[in-house]
Chain A
Amino acid sequence: MSFATKSPWVIHYDASSCNGCDIEVLAALCPGFDLERFGIVNTGNPKHADIFLVTGSVNERNQHVVKQIYDQMVEPKVVVACGICACSGGIFHDCYNILGGVDKVIPVDVYVPGCAVRPEALIDGVVQALDILDQRAKALEAKRKGA
């Protein structure tokens, strides 16, 4: 049995974003864009999730929360940075409390820029994440068989 035979589930966390990207992440999951038609469901539990959608540029206080959610997710997992703040800090890059991007805290696989990120771009990012997820699952499977 492969590790990723089920539909991928996503978890979303707002790491000091302005809300613009968060509501677009939810809009992508709702009718209109309907990411759910691919079986992609939003979950609140990191242990159920395969794809981690992070919005916002991460500040001093929530970096531990982001790290904890990432650590609680089970392998294979993919991180998608949603919006320009999550990619590089965006307009808030020079703020004193901003670390400037999710990749300062956890490894990021897909960067989706935009302010606010458009749901179409987000869906494209998630589809790219699915490929990476598949590769990781296969690598894990091979490692398990080899062991």
Chain B
Amino acid sequence: MGKQTIIPFGPQHPVLPEPIHLDLVVEDETVIEAVPQIGFIHRGLERLVQTKDYNQFVYVAERICGICAFGHSMGYAETVENLMGVEVPTRAQYLRVIWHEMSRVHSHTLWLGLAADAFGFESLFMHAWRLREKILDVFERTTGGRVIFSVVKVGGVTRDLDDQQIDYMKSVFADFRAEYTKLIRAFLDDSSVKNRTVGVGTISRADAVNLGMVGPFLRASGEPYDVRMLGSNGYGELEHFEPITDDQGDCYARIRVRCEEVLQALDIIDEMLAKLPAGDIAVKVKGAPKAGSEACNLVEQPRGECYYYAKGNGTKYLDRMRMRTPTSQNLAGMAATLKGCDVADVNMIVLTIDPCISCTER
């Protein structure tokens, strides 16, 4: 038995794009316990609902997180629509699904790059990010923004796609798919990647469920739960949806699940683009949420289930707006997975839960 020491990890650390601090209690080379400390990105933006009305808050909600920006603006708008009983036109719902799946593709390729960086495969990191630029170009052509889009509003979306743009999107996605299938061969078949990830940071299905984990982290442990399969809003129009799972529960399984989710998201985009209905893209929303009215909503963000809750008070300002984001659900699972791992594997495990700290702390 060695002596226990505490190794601080973060908030400024080369593998972390975002600040989180972990106190790693270490004995020899083994982590006994990992105690996360958060608060480095807490801004307190939920309170801004008191000074920004429900239409303006869409833009604040979008800036909860720059990676899942579209998902948050969509989740918030849907919550307020539920609160006020607004029926969104079908075309707007389709467009929301298309952009949301595009942000999943961009988020997962970004994450694949960061994961490659974490296990020291620098050129793979660069390739993943080069490929991601193609998706960002499509975002820029269709919404005007690269990471913050501001296309969602309460009652619909602010921009439409014309035929020329749809053709352009289809051709880019076809190119992307071809290159992406080559890229993930490196992630899934390369022996140096497997050496770092297979059997590392394993968590069982029972533990994953008990710790309330969500998203690819949960699905990689074998639990087929994905909010999209509930078929709410635009997702109800999908012909078929099956969550992607893996029964291994290790870092490699989490990489595999995310790799395949990108292809699944591309399928969804293709399907939605092919049967995009004609019609309006927004309805006018008048009045204010009634006093005491409450609504909630679930959205499958790239990182997992995100829960939204809103309460109206009869004015244009909401009484309360609350989100429970996927990473705050997954932190307990991360601390459990880190128990007993090797110090050298800490960065790999932290990365494979795909932490989004600015979502967590808001």
Q: Taking beta carbons and an 8 Å cutoff, which residues of A are in contact with B?
A: 13-24, 26-27, 30-32, 43-46, 56-57, 59, 61-62, 65, 69, 91-92, 94-98, 115-116, 118
Contact = CB atoms under 8 A, between A and B. Distances in A.
B45 A95 contact: yes
B133 interface: yes
B42 A20 contact: no
Interface stretch (B59-67, B154-162, B226-234, B262-270): B59-67
Nearest to A68: B12
Main secondary structure of the interface of A (DSSP, over half): loop
Contacts of B43: 16, 57, 59, 92, 95, 97-98
Contact of A14 (B17, B127, B133): B17
A17 B39 CA distance: 12
A32 B130 contact: yes
Contacts of A31: 126-127, 129-130, 133
B89 interface: no
A30 B59 contact: no
Given A22-B66, A118-B146, A65 B44 contact: no
A61 B156 CA distance: 38
Contacts of B51: 94
B11 A23 contact: no
Main secondary structure of the interface of B (DSSP, over half): loop
B147 A116 contact: yes
Contacts of B65: 18-19
Interface residues of B, number: 42
B129 A32 contact: yes
A30 B14 CA distance: 16
B319 interface: no
Nearest to B14: A44
Nearest to B68: A19
Given A14-B18, A18-B358, A19-B358, A95 B47 contact: yes
A59 B42 contact: yes
Contact of B147 (A13, A20, A65, A94): A20
A24 B147 contact: yes
Contacts of A56: 41
A61 B40 contact: yes
A44 B127 CA distance: 21
B48 interface: yes
B141 interface: no
B41 A14 contact: yes
Given A20-B63, A24-B146, A61 B358 contact: no
Contacts of B132: 27
A73 B48 CA distance: 36
22 contacts: A17-B41, A17-B66, A19-B17, A20-B63, A20-B67, A23-B67, A23-B110, A30-B125, A32-B129, A32-B133, A45-B14, A46-B12, A56-B41, A62-B40, A65-B19, A91-B59, A95-B45, A95-B48, A96-B47, A97-B44, A98-B44, A115-B148
